[in-house]
């Protein structure tokens, strides 16, 4: 295992990547195989098979994501406190081990939906530290000049999962969904080993000062926090449901399982492009404006799906991926730039909880609109409006503090910006 020290001296972007590649690799693998990513991008693949075998409804299966998101909402701030005090390596490794074992339990599910739901609840509780709340802390501690790109690479692990897993497991799940869960479980356990071996131990200079922790409450009452939180919520509501409903939507329109899975895989490519591309841009341009532009592109993808139907589903998939790629990357980047590292995990945990609230509610919102209207036109129109709202809120965000916090510096007091 590595014991890579934390170096507080200022570095150029290239030197940051050369010195901290182990931490970046561990964060990338951990995020991609974590509880907020793997279920999010694979649940839709299991929906038709579980419907067929057990007779469970699409609304019931959509509720799984809400249950997981609710648990994340409750646990993310707590995870932030634990990571601020103990570091990332141990909590994240334990959580990923629990996630892998939970997938094996899911493979043995019977006809009881309550039993199936209970496994999901247990999984989200025990795997709570295997999310970006933990892993982006490591990246932000070690990168400043190349922070945007480093976050984009780390969070791009989610895009790789979204692209690769549907291609590899789509046909397998259609043939035997239980083996699909077993393969996912084995993959997560392997990823946990990678995190254990490569994630550096907590280094010197990464502790959080008590005085800084006391300044969180006033910030949560500020206008900037409300503006960013509402933007993240609107974006999550707009795109979260599409990861669950895209494949069923295409299947309902007569698209084959293989073609639907291929289209869903485009989400992953777009997530990678969105995260790495946005990461590069925010290191050079004002981040909220970059985010707003990406969200408007995503809205155009939804409009294309409305206009062209399944023939233009790829445009919607790319739009969803771009928005998701920008979202968590921007949450991490904006949290570090506006609020600093001393309270980073706590603030990120709160923003991430808001984001997951939207992600969890979005599939149910889309399922309800589908049931009421009999089609996906209304859900897509609502999503376009939400993306426009999120873009407008981000465009109204203020400039960053003049001395934006770097890994080697303590937090800059910016309470005046939040009133």
What is the total count of domains within the chain? Answer: 1
Please name which of 384, 32, 398, 9 lies closest in space to residue 203, comparing C-alpha atoms: 9
Please report whether residue 81 resides in a domain.
yes
pTM as predicted: 0.70
Q: Is 193 exposed, middle or buried (CB count within 10 Å of its CB: 0-12, 13-18, 19+)?
A: middle
Please report whether residue 267 resides in a domain.
yes
User: In this model, does residue 321 exceed pLDDT 90?
Assistant: no
- Across residues 51-66, what is the average pLDDT? 83
Please report whether residue 10 resides in a domain.
no
Please report whether residue 326 resides in a domain.
yes
State which residues form the domain around 142: 20-199+210-399+409-418
What is the pLDDT confidence band of residue 186, given thresholds at 50, 70 and 90? very high
Q: Which two tokens stand for residue 6?
A: 């934390």
Please report whether residue 83 resides in a domain.
yes
Ranked by mean pLDDT, the top range of 91-100, 151-160, 270-279 is: 91-100
Written in H, E and C, the secondary structure of 272-328 is HHHHHHHHHHHCCCCHHHHHHHHHHHHHHHHHHHHHHHHHHHHHHHHHHHHHHHHHH
Please report whether residue 182 resides in a domain.
yes
pLDDT in tens, 360-402: 788 889 888 888 988 878 888 999 999 999 999 999 989 887 6
User: In this model, does residue 61 exceed pLDDT 70?
Assistant: yes
- Which residues, 6 or more positions from 184, have their beta carbon under 8 angstroms from its beta carbon? 38, 42, 103, 165, 169
CB 318 within 8 A of CB 163: no
Please report whether residue 7 resides in a domain.
no
User: In this model, does residue 309 exceed pLDDT 50?
Assistant: yes
- The CATH number of the domain holding residue 153 is 1.20.1250.20
The residue assigned the tokens 């530290």 is 129
CB 259 within 8 A of CB 249: no
What is the pLDDT confidence band of residue 181, given thresholds at 50, 70 and 90? very high
- Across residues 229-243, what is the average pLDDT? 89
pLDDT of residue 283: 82
User: In this model, does residue 326 exceed pLDDT 70?
Assistant: yes
CB 147 within 8 A of CB 140: yes
Please report whether residue 345 resides in a domain.
yes
């Amino acid at each position: 295992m590595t014991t890579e020290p934390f170096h507080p001296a200022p570095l150029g972007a290239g030197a940051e990547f050369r010195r901290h590649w182990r931490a970046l690799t561990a964060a990338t693998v951990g995020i991609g195989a974590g509880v907020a990513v793997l279920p999010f991008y694979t649940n839709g693949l299991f929906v038709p098979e579980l419907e067929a075998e057990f007779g469970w409804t699409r609304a019931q299966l959509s509720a799984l994501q809400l249950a997981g998101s609710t648990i994340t909402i409750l646990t993310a701030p707590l995870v932030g406190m634990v990571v601020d005090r103990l570091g990332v390596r141990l909590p994240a490794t334990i959580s990923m081990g629990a996630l892998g074992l939970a997938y094996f339990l899911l493979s043995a599910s019977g006809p009881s939906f309550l039993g199936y739901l209970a496994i999901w609840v247990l999984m989200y509780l025990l795997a709570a530290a295997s999310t970006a709340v933990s892993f982006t802390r490591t990246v932000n501690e070690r990168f400043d000049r190349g922070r945007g790109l480093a976050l984009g690479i780390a969070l791009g692990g989610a895009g790789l999962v979204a692209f690769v897993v549907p291609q590899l497991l789509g046909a397998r799940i259609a043939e035997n969904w239980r083996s699909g869960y077993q393969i996912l479980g084995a993959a997560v356990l392997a990823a946990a080993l990678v995190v254990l071996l490569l994630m550096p131990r907590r280094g010197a200079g990464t502790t959080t000062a008590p005085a800084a922790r006391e300044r969180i409450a006033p910030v949560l009452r500020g206008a900037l926090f409300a503006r960013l939180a509402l933007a993240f919520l609107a974006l999550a509501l707009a795109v979260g449901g599409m990861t669950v409903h895209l494949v069923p939507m295409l299947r309902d329109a007569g698209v084959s399982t293989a073609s639907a899975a291929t289209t869903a895989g485009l989400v992953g490519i777009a997530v990678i492009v969105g995260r790495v591309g946005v990461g590069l841009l925010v290191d050079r341009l004002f981040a909220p404006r970059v985010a707003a532009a990406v969200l408007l592109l995503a809205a155009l993808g939804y409009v294309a799906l409305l206009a062209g139907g399944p023939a233009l589903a790829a445009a919607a998939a790319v739009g969803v991926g771009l928005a998701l790629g920008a979202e968590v990357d921007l949450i991490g980047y904006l949290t570090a730039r506006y609020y600093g590292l001393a309270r980073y995990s706590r603030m990120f945990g709160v923003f991430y909880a808001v984001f997951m609230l939207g992600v969890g509610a979005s599939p149910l919102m889309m399922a309800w609109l589908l049931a009421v209207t009999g089609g996906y036109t209304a859900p897509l129109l609502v999503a376009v409006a939400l993306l426009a709202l999120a873009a407008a809120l981000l465009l109204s965000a203020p400039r960053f503090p003049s001395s934006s916090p770097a890994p080697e510096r303590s937090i800059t007091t910016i309470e005046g910006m939040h009133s």
